[in-house]
Structure 1
Amino acid sequence: MTYEDPLDTGGTERPSDAAAQHPALAGWSTADERSFWAFHDDRYKPFLHFAYKQLESDADAEDAADKTFDEIMNNWQRMLGMENLPGYAWSILKSRICDQRRKRDKRALPTDLSAFAAMVDGRDDFEAVHGRLQFADAIGHLSERQRDAVILRYGLELETADAAHLMGVAEATVRSFVRQARARLLQVLDIPSDDGKVKS
C-alpha cells in the first residue's frame, strides 16, 4: 500500500472521508488520524532505508515498510496507550524485515557489511580482517540491538539522537550498543584494542 495522508488537504478532509481510503481508520477521531500520519511521516523514510540496508532490494524494503505501517495502522489506537510506542513500532519493522528475509530464504544477517567496517576502520591493523566471510561471522556475535544501532549510526549515518528516536531508546543506550559492538568485533576478530573512542 502506498501511503498518502488523507488529512493533508488544508483541513477540509473529515475522518469519514479518510476511512473510505483506509478502512482501518473507521471510527477514529481526527486527533488519532493526525497523530498516526505525523508518526508515519516522521518514520516511513528512515524505516524504508533501514529495511533496504537489511534486504538490499528496493521492492522487498518497500514491502517491509508498507506492511509495518499496515500493522501500525491496525493497532494505532491501542498503541497510543503504550509506554514506549516508538519501541513497539521498531519491533514491528524488525519482524516484517524477518518475514521478507524468510520469504527469500536469506541469512539472518545483512550482507552489506560497510556499516560495521566503518565502525572499526581507520586502524593500522584493520588489514588483519581476512575477508568478508570472517567479518560476517564476527557480526553474528553481536546482539540484534547492537547491529541495529551500528546500521543506523554508520550505515544510514544518522546522529545518535535520530537513531535513538527511531529505536525508541535513550541516546545513551545507542552509544552503549555501538561501544559494545565495536569491542565485541575487535575481540572476535582478535584485533588488539587501541583503547580509542569510537564516535557514537
Structure 2
Amino acid sequence: MTEWSDQLAQLVRARGAELSRYGYLLCGDATEGADLVQEALVRVFARPRRSWSLGDVEGYVRRTMLNDFLDRRRRSERFTRLLPRLSSPDSAPDHSGGAVRRLDVVEALGTLSPRQRACVVLRYYEDLPVAGVADRIGLSQGAVKRYLSEALARMSGAVDPPWADAGAGPDEQRVGAGRTVGEGNAR
C-alpha cells in the first residue's frame, strides 16, 4: 500500500464514526451525511500529498465536509423537512424522551440556514469556542455570535427544554438564586 492509502485506512478506522456523526449533524440525514464523508475523503486523497498526522488529515476532511455542505445549500434553493414528526398529539404517550428530543433537535436544525446550522454544529457539537467557529467558517466573531443568537432563538420554540418531561409547569421552573420563572425581581 502507498503512504496515502495507509493514511486513508488509518483515518477511516480511527475517526470514521466521528466523521459520519459530523456529516449527519451537518446534513440531518444519515445517507447524505455518509455521502458528504465519502466525497470529502475522495477530494482530500485525490491528489498525492506529503505525510500528514492523523489530526491534520481529519481537520482537512472536516473542513472539506463543511465547505461541501455550505456549497450544496448555497446552490440549492429547495428546502425540505428532513425528519417528519413521529407522533401526533393524540397518539399514545411515548416514553423514549431522549430519542424524541434528539429528533426534535435534528428537525429544529433543519429549519436553520446553512450558516446558522454550521455555527450551531461547530459551537455546540464540536464544542469549539466562538473564535474557533469563526476561524473554521471564515466569518468574524460578531457574525458567528449573530448566527448563533438567531439560530437559538429560532430553535427555542421547536425544542422542549430537558426539564419539560419532569412535569414542572412554566411557573415552577427554577431559574437560579432560589427564584422561579414569573417571580421577577420582586422579593
In the superposition, the TM-score normalised over structure 1's length comes to 0.41
TM-score normalised to structure 2 length:
0.43
